[in-house]
Amino acid sequence: MAQRRILHDEFFKKAKAEGYLARSAYKLKEIQERHRILRSGMKVVDLGCAPGSWLQVASEIVGPKGLVIGIDLQEVRPGLAENVHTIVGDIFKTDAAALLLDPDAKFNAVISDMAPSTTGHGDDAISVRLCRRVLELLPAMLAPGGSCVMKVLEGGGYPELLKDCQRLFAKAKGLKPKASRDLSREIFIVAEGYKAPAATPAAKLAKPAPKPGPGWGS
């Protein structure tokens, strides 16, 4: 007999009592307790931030001198702290630069609790694609030495995704917090020490000057 999914478990009740928008707040809290990826004064971006519980936790940790930016397809309800700013958008269509209030100051951490709308067919592959989009955005968003935390559904694509994270960061490992449901396939990749790619030399970015044509002078 299949195990019945328990919706109103201890973390659901705890979130309601402590004012968090969802039980997922305790997943980030445990990751923080184990790895200390967030610190006071940091700039953090939350990709796929609805309903907003990770924004709340990140806001508490970075404090008033820090900044938390969130983006999601859904609008996050108002009432978050002053150091939190959210926009409605699609991470596959939004330029990473649009999330940086200061182009010269990248984020210290990228966090993501995104998940596909589950259908039971190919959910893990879609989840891996969401994570790979996060990785695609890192060069434009994440400062050298920064951290990344993202949720993925375990499946065929997970091992290779983890290996890619281990190449991009000084260390990366999978972690399943206690607040994750027992039946859930979700796991969080916690990556620290981002090895930012070297900037492309200006000479390579410059386009060759066009050859003079009629009317260009002598």
Please pick, among 27, 43, 106, 151, the residue that the annotation labels catalytic. 151
Backbone angles phi, psi at 161, to 5 degrees: -60, -45
The neighbouring-strand residues paired with 205 are: none
- Known catalytic residue at 29: no
Which residues are marked as active site? 151
